[in-house]
Amino acid sequence: MMENKSRPLHEQVASTLIEQLKKGTAPWQKPWNTEGMLIQMLPYNAQSGNRYKGINAMNLLLSGYEDPRWLTFKQAESMGAKILKGEKGTMIQFVKTHEQKTMRDEQGSMVFDELGNPVKQRLPLSRPIVSSAWVFNAQQISGLEAIVKTGPKEISWDPMERAEALIKNSSAEINHRYIDSAYYDVRYDAITLPERSQFAAADLYYATALHELAHWTGHPSRLDRASLLHNGMIEYSKEELRAEIASMLIGSELRIGHDPGQHAAYVDSWVSVLEDTPFEIHAAAADAEKIFEYLLAIERKQSIELDPTMLASATETPRPFLSTGDEILYKDRIYRVEGHLKQGRLRMEQLPSGIQFTLSSADPLYGELLEKKIAQHPLISLEQISAETLKNNLPSSTKKR
């Protein structure tokens, strides 16, 4: 049995969120720290391991379940699990922007590859198609193993060191003063924080710093976020909504926790905005994901530059093609190879935008990314790669608190 089939998802989420904001129980209104944290606090698909994002993540978070794992009916069935009798599913939505079509030549005949298979091409739709699905929480399902909790001593990194490195590698201007508030001033592109000694614990300092770093991403030279650049309480509250959701995401990723206390003053404004414009929660959740990906891209870029395994392999000849797991910095974006498809195509993701697309070795971008990959290995150049290999792989005034 499913709930609220007739109402648009953003209206359902806005309505539930307004109720929880008034009660002080919205996901980012709950302070949490590094003690006794679940492996992954944010909702994710228990079969694929992928985290739900944007409006879907918000809807699942608002459902009130403590277990972050979710499955569709068919997924649960395929895992030998069973939905408990009388349980209701929670809606998620997917937006389809492209479709696969068989390629045809100028005469209208189908085009086949060297193996005799029809060649498919990914084409943009004239308008996006929104489809819905329903998922069930692990607490609504029998036959799943209990989730294992993990404490700070069991994770493979030091949360504070990781947070410090992210802040440092952002190159953001951060000033410390003996004051009782923190803010980002877009006019000077600078963050001001209280002195570290004023915080009761290190995780509180980093949670605050990363919240301000979320605002910092909105500068015109970065994500160019409209909510950061306009005056007025409404725009302030919209920007705070984005920063709070992003802080929750990054706090979970780094395991440093989240402290919502200093932003309680925006609750009434958030309620007002959501009552007037329910779709704002959809836009805010999407922007928060962009903030999250932008900050993680900084971390990934540093990892690529400093990864000792990459430096160690500099004496080895890299494979002259793109392969699963490659992360290539190109034009201030990171292109990640997610996997291989049929006909030699690749499933790609661009960061921090999160755009996913299919890449063929015949696409110009493939050759450009391959050159960048090779350039990361100083002992090999394009000239050292055989002509046959190349032939097969290259194409013919505000402060935000």
Look at 26-35, 205-214, 356-365 and tell me which has the smallest mean pLDDT. 26-35
According to the model, what pLDDT value does residue 354 have? 66
What are the pLDDT digits (tens) for 149-184? Answer: 655 555 556 888 999 999 999 999 999 999 999 999
Residue 314 scores a pLDDT above 90: no
Nearest to 248 by CA among 235, 257, 240, 236: 257
Separation of alpha carbons 181 and 234, rounded Å:
20
- pLDDT, one tens digit per residue, over 86-142 is 999 999 998 888 888 888 888 888 888 767 788 877 788 888 888 899 999 999 999
Q: Rounded to whole angstroms, how far apart are CA atoms 77 and 94?
A: 22
**What number is the average pLDDT over the span 188-203?**
93
Tokens of 84: 């408990």
Tell whether the model's pLDDT for residue 39 goes beyond 60: no
Domain boundaries, the chain: 38-149, 158-300, 308-396
- Reference 374, options 331, 309, 321; nearest CA is 321
State which H helix or E strand residue 334 sits in. strand 333-340
Percent of the chain residues topping a pLDDT of 90:
43
pLDDT at 28 over 60: yes
Which tens digit of pLDDT belongs to each residue from 315-355? 444 446 787 778 888 877 788 888 777 666 788 887 766 66
Q: Does pLDDT of 382 surpass 80?
A: no
Task: For residue 79, count other CB atoms closer than 10 A to its CB.
Answer: 14
